[in-house]
Amino acid sequence: MNPIAETAGRLLDDHQEFVLATIISRHGSTPRTAGTRMIVCRDGRTVGTIGGGLLEARVVQKADDVLSSKHPLMVRFDMTHSELSAMDMICGGRLEVLLEFVDPESPAASVFKCRRNLERTPTEPCLSLTVLHMAGETVDGIDHCVISNQGAICGDLSLPPVTVEKLIREHSGATFLSAITLGESVILIDPVLPAETVFILGAGHVAQPTAQLATMAGFRVQVVDDRSAFANADRFPDAEKIRVIADFGAALKGITIDRNAFIVIVTRGHLHDQTVLMQALRTEAAYIGMIGSRSKRDHIFKALLEQGFTEADLKRVHSPIGLEIGAETPAEIALSIVAELVKVRAEGRRP
């Protein structure tokens, strides 16, 4: 799940104020990309990071001012060579960071909750629009809205219908935040992306740390196994769903596997892996990975070719699974797997 959306929703449910810091533009080399967010609470707690170091410390300091004034603030950082030593950073780019006061009683609160709910249970592509009403260099006011191809879902949007239609048409399918200037306003266009789901087939010793790390990396996790003694909430407390099946012959039956699905095959045997892989290859999953040695992989691939699968099918499979980092222990193998998941996810979202 998106930790920022989840935390924002939880704070608003609890009627707590906070500051949302968003990188809205960057130029040159900077620690994080546009769209990166961080929450700063009244008690000083932070969720997320926009780059760390003194840059982030300055943003947190400015957030205190926003919490006091309850007015938004645009902060610009020019990390030129003359400032690098003072900021203890070696990037050298420029950033614009929006600091927004979020009031649980404001109309914006319902939009933030709406976005959280859409990311939990996505239905159709949506865009989150933030309209910054500018008075020179100062943010004079902010409107929020979530829209789909059919129009507004929640929030207020003081834009002509023809402009909204143009935004939908030009930014449908976007995977990253962009900003455009329209008259005296700046519009932040942010796609509402559902969290990718990792389906872990097998609930053994590698599956446990894989589930934990995948959750920490922002994936939703479901675990599937035919043994209730292994597939249970005690062993997988972070899993969104745990499925105990009769056998692996129907491991993916009843599960929607789309382009936001990542399939990790780590069952307890070659035959189970092959059975699951056959099912996985008939889906649109963005990622299919299977644990095992190259000789095991080649043996299974040979069997699948004999059953009618093609070389193109087999090229979709990441096996041996994970990035090559010399992993040996279950935790190390899990780290290599999740690193590969993150890599594939980033490639899919790349501008």
33 shares its domain with 47: yes
Q: Are residues 172 and 251 in the same domain?
A: no
HEC profile of 269-296:
CHHHHHHHHHHHCCCCCCEEEECCCHHH
The 3-state DSSP composition of the chain as helix, strand, coil percent (nearest 5) reads 35, 30, 40
- Interatomic CA distance for residues 34 and 23, integer angstroms: 5
**What mean pLDDT do residues 214-229 have?**
95
How many domains does the chain contain in total? 3
Among 100-109, 167-176, 290-299, whose mean pLDDT is lowest?
167-176
pLDDT bucket at 82, cuts 50 / 70 / 90 = very low
Task: Give tens-digit pLDDT for 58-73.
Answer: 999 999 999 999 999 9
pLDDT band (50, 70, 90) for residue 32: low
Please give the model's pTM, rounded to 2 decimal places: 0.77
Average pLDDT estimate for 149-178: 82
Same domain, yes or no, for 99 and 118? no
pLDDT surpassing 60 at residue 201: yes
In the chain, the amino acid numbered 314 is L
Higher pLDDT pick, 2 / 166: 166
- Per-residue confidence (pLDDT) for residue 116, from 0 to 100: 86
Which of 105, 139, 158 terminates a domain? The answer is: 105
Same domain, yes or no, for 75 and 177?
no
Task: Give the separation between CA 144 and CA 159, rounded to whole angstroms.
Answer: 11
pLDDT at 85: 45
Residues 203 and 343 in one domain: yes
| Backbone phi and psi for residue 153, each to the nearest 5 degrees, phi listed first | -100, -45
Q: Are residues 150 and 272 in the same domain?
A: no
* pLDDT value at residue 80: 60
Q: By residue range, what is the domain housing residue 14?
A: 1-105
Torsion over CA: 341, 343, 348, 351 (sign) = positive
Q: Which residue has the higher pLDDT, 83 or 211?
A: 211
Relative to beta strand 73-78, strand 197-201 is unpaired
Residue 28 in this model has a pLDDT that exceeds 70: no
In contact, 106 and 114? CB cutoff 8 Å: no
Residues 337 and 238 placed together within one structural domain of the fold: yes
DSSP of 303-328: HHHHTT--HHHHTTEE-S-S--S---
Q: Are residues 227 and 265 in the same domain?
A: yes
Same domain, 251 and 344: yes
Q: Domain containing 311 — which CATH number?
A: 3.40.50.720
Q: Considering only CA atoms, which of 30, 22, 35 is closest in space to residue 94?
A: 30
User: How, if at all, do strands 317-318 and 46-48 pair?
Assistant: unpaired
The separation between CA 289 and the C-alpha centre of its own chain, rounded to angstroms, equals 20
Does 320 sit behind a cis peptide bond, omega within 30 degrees of 0 on the bond before it?
yes
Query: Tokens standing for 60?
Result: 């947190």
Its sign, for the CA torsion 37, 40, 41, 46, is positive
> Residue 256 in 3-state DSSP?
coil
- Local structure of residue 106 (DSSP, 8 states): S
Question: Distance between CA atoms of 6 and 4, rounded to whole angstroms?
Answer: 5
Closest alpha carbon to 42 in 67, 8, 13, 5: 67
Give the phi and the psi of residue 39 in degrees, each rounded to 5.
Answer: -105, 135
Q: How far apart are CA 271 and CA 275, in angstroms?
A: 6
Residue 159 has what pLDDT?
A: 81
Number of H helices, E strands in the chain: 10, 16
Lowest-pLDDT choice from 50-54, 77-81, 138-142, 226-230: 77-81
- 156, 176, 194 - which closes a domain: 194
How many angstroms separate the CA atoms of 186 and 142, rounded? 10
Is the pLDDT at 128 greater than 60? The verdict is yes
The residue out of 170, 194, 218 marking a domain boundary is 194
Q: Are residues 248 and 162 in the same domain?
A: no
pLDDT reported for residue 62: 94
For residues 326-333, give the mean pLDDT.
96
Report which residue type is found at 346. Answer: A
State the Cα–Cα distance between residues 194 and 28, nearest whole angstrom: 29
Length of the chain: 351
Mean pLDDT of 188-214: 93
Q: Mean pLDDT, the chain, as a whole number?
A: 89
Q: Are residues 336 and 211 in the same domain?
A: yes
HSE, side-chain direction, 13 A CA sphere, residue 12: 26
Q: Which of 46, 142, 32 is nearest to 98 (CA)?
A: 142
190, 203: one domain: no
Sheet with 287-290, strands from edge to edge, namely 241-244, 220-225, 197-201, 261-265, 287-290, 317-318
Rounded Cα distance between 210 and 197, Å, is 13
Rounded Cα distance between 327 and 341, Å, is: 16
Q: What is the pLDDT of residue 208?
A: 98
Give dist(CA 215, CA 238) in Å, integer: 7
